[in-house]
Amino acid sequence: MGRLDGRIAAVTGAGRGIGAEIAKLLASEGAKVVVNDLGANTDGSGSGKIADDVAKEIRDAGGEAVGHTESISTVAGGQSLLQTAIDNFGGLDILVNNAGILRDKTIFNMEEEDWDAVIAVHLKGHYCTSRPFAKYIRENNRTNCRIINFSSTSGLFGNFGQSNYGAAKAGIAGFTRVLSMELAKYGCTVNTISPAALTRMTIPLREARGQKVEESELEQGGPQHVAPIVTWLASDEAAKVSNQILHAARGLVGIMQQPAILKAFQKSKGVWSQEELDKYVPELVQAKEENDARVKELGKPVVID
Ligand SMILES: NC(=O)c1ccc[n+]([C@@H]2O[C@H](COP(=O)([O-])OP(=O)(O)OC[C@H]3O[C@@H](n4cnc5c(N)ncnc54)[C@H](O)[C@@H]3O)[C@@H](O)[C@H]2O)c1
């Protein structure tokens, strides 16, 4: 008996890295899985059949899986991902939007094609897969579904040299908030993961900073640490958890705060003068800084033995 017996999942970018670990763990909990991956290089160029390899690995281990090698950055690719789940397994319950690429450059060097390529896979990619799935949920009155989206601290906190990626990843958090409202009526939860893991996406960045990644570190910081959090969100236990951002990395699971007004001033009449703003805006900034300090303290992990 697995937690996901009878459930059908599709995981994008699951030919390697975090996505492959998610696909394998979902399958080991009993889900039938569509393993999507274009087989691209980190910059989005190229293609290959690695999705089929992971699907075979799952089947060899006794699970049920099928490969899907189309790009999820087009509406046709997203539609065909859903259709593959329907044709092979009879439906879809769980969509994990994990596929990703990088084109890191500062804004001075960020060409239009670098901007477009990253937005297309991450932000538009979430739309391309989620829209057909949302319509399918509504048209079939399919309840208790899951959408699990992939953001990043790069977008949620900011990271130098990643304006394209950061914008897409922050956009994904906003997309999640809206979808969780629009699909609540169907009992579909929509959550965001902020992962950190040593994969082919991040190991070269570490090594470029002169930090060699040792084999032992892969055990502590590999993509296998993200998969259990995603799998839990896909399970029945998580039926009431929606519109959350969970941070998952190296054995750590945390919840992030969402944007909220921390302090405000209301004028009883008229518009703000510049002199009034000279006085009140610094008070707002101070309230924000005090909150940042409080949140930093609250966010320190409680160690579980
Ligand atoms: N690894 C980290 O520390 C980290 C941190 C923050 C966010 N993330 C996010 O987590 C997700 C997984 O990252 P990862 O580290 O496993 O990366 P990865 O490079 O190991 O895997 C990403 C996979 O996505 C596939 N892909 C790329 N474009 C695609 C497309 N158009 N259609 C289908 N598949 C496509 C690639 O072929 C690749 O196999 C990404 O969204 C990434 O931005 C990762």
CATH at residue 97: 3.40.50.720
Query: Do 78 and 185 belong to one domain?
Result: yes
**CB-based contact 248:194 (threshold 8 Å):** yes
How many domains are contained in the chain? 2
Ligand 1 closest atom vs CA 101: 27
Query: Do 161 and 279 belong to one domain?
Result: no
User: Is residue 289 domain-resident?
Assistant: yes
Which range marks the domain in which residue 281 is found? 260-305
b/e map of 77-105 (b: 16 or more CB within 10 Å)? bbbbbbebbeeebeebbbbbbbbbbbbbb
Which of 16, 18, 22 to mutate to test ligand 1, by most ligand atoms within 8 A of the CB atom?
18
Burial category of 200 from C-beta neighbours within 10 Å (exposed 0-12, middle 13-18, buried 19 and up): exposed
**CB-based contact 58:33 (threshold 8 Å):** yes
Query: Do 271 and 220 belong to one domain?
Result: no
Query: Do 169 and 300 belong to one domain?
Result: no
On the question of pLDDT at 286 being above 90, the answer is yes
Q: Find out whether the beta carbon of 102 lies less than 6 Å from any atom of ligand 1.
A: no
Distance in Å, CA 13 to ligand 1 centroid: 6
Q: Find out whether the beta carbon of 165 lies less than 6 Å from any atom of ligand 1.
A: no
Query: Do 146 and 282 belong to one domain?
Result: no
Distance in Å, CA 205 to ligand 1 centroid: 14
Ligand 1 closest atom vs CA 97: 41
Ligand 1 closest atom vs CA 16: 39
Query: Do 38 and 102 belong to one domain?
Result: yes
* Among the listed residues 97, 30, 35, 99, the one whose alpha carbon sits nearest the alpha carbon of residue 66: 35
Query: Do 14 and 70 belong to one domain?
Result: yes
On the question of pLDDT at 131 being above 90, the answer is yes
**CB-based contact 166:158 (threshold 8 Å):** yes
Ligand 1 closest atom vs CA 125: 31
Tens digit of each residue's pLDDT (9 = 90 or more) over 100-121:
999 999 999 999 999 999 999 9
Query: Do 289 and 208 belong to one domain?
Result: no
pLDDT for residue 24: 98
Q: Whose CA is nearest to atom 43 of ligand 1?
A: 100
Q: Find out whether the beta carbon of 15 lies less than 6 Å from any atom of ligand 1.
A: yes
Q: Of 255, 278, 293, which one is at a domain's C-terminal end?
A: 255
Distance in Å, CA 123 to ligand 1 centroid: 13
Q: Of 223, 239, 255, which one is at a domain's C-terminal end?
A: 255
Q: What is the mean pLDDT of residues 127-135?
A: 99
Distance in Å, CA 213 to ligand 1 centroid: 19
Query: Do 82 and 64 belong to one domain?
Result: yes
Q: With bands split at pLDDT 50, 70 and 90, how would you rate the model's confidence at 1?
A: confident
User: Is residue 2 domain-resident?
Assistant: no
Measured CA to CA, the distance from residue 161 to residue 283 in angstroms comes to: 31
User: Is residue 1 domain-resident?
Assistant: no
Q: Find out whether the beta carbon of 13 lies less than 6 Å from any atom of ligand 1.
A: yes
Pairing of strands 32-36, 8-11: parallel
Distance in Å, CA 149 to ligand 1 centroid: 12
- Give me the chain's average pLDDT, please: 98
User: Is residue 125 domain-resident?
Assistant: yes
Pairing of strands 94-97, 64-68: unpaired
Q: Of 231, 255, 279, which one is at a domain's C-terminal end?
A: 255
Query: Do 117 and 137 belong to one domain?
Result: yes
Distance in Å, CA 91 to ligand 1 centroid: 25
Q: Find out whether the beta carbon of 98 lies less than 6 Å from any atom of ligand 1.
A: yes
Q: Find out whether the beta carbon of 37 lies less than 6 Å from any atom of ligand 1.
A: yes
Q: Whose CA is nearest to atom 7 of ligand 1?
A: 152
User: Is residue 3 domain-resident?
Assistant: no
Tens digit of each residue's pLDDT (9 = 90 or more) over 190-235:
999 999 999 999 999 999 999 999 989 999 999 999 999 999 999 9
Query: Do 251 and 282 belong to one domain?
Result: no
Distance in Å, CA 100 to ligand 1 centroid: 3
pTM for the full predicted model: 0.98
Ligand 1 closest atom vs CA 122: 41
Tens digit of each residue's pLDDT (9 = 90 or more) over 146-195:
999 999 999 999 999 999 999 999 999 999 999 999 999 999 999 999 99
Query: Do 134 and 177 belong to one domain?
Result: yes
Q: What is the mean pLDDT of residues 25-33?
A: 98
Structure tokens at 302: 């409680």
Known catalytic residues are: 165
**CB-based contact 36:9 (threshold 8 Å):** no
Residue type present at position 179: L
Q: Find out whether the beta carbon of 18 lies less than 6 Å from any atom of ligand 1.
A: yes
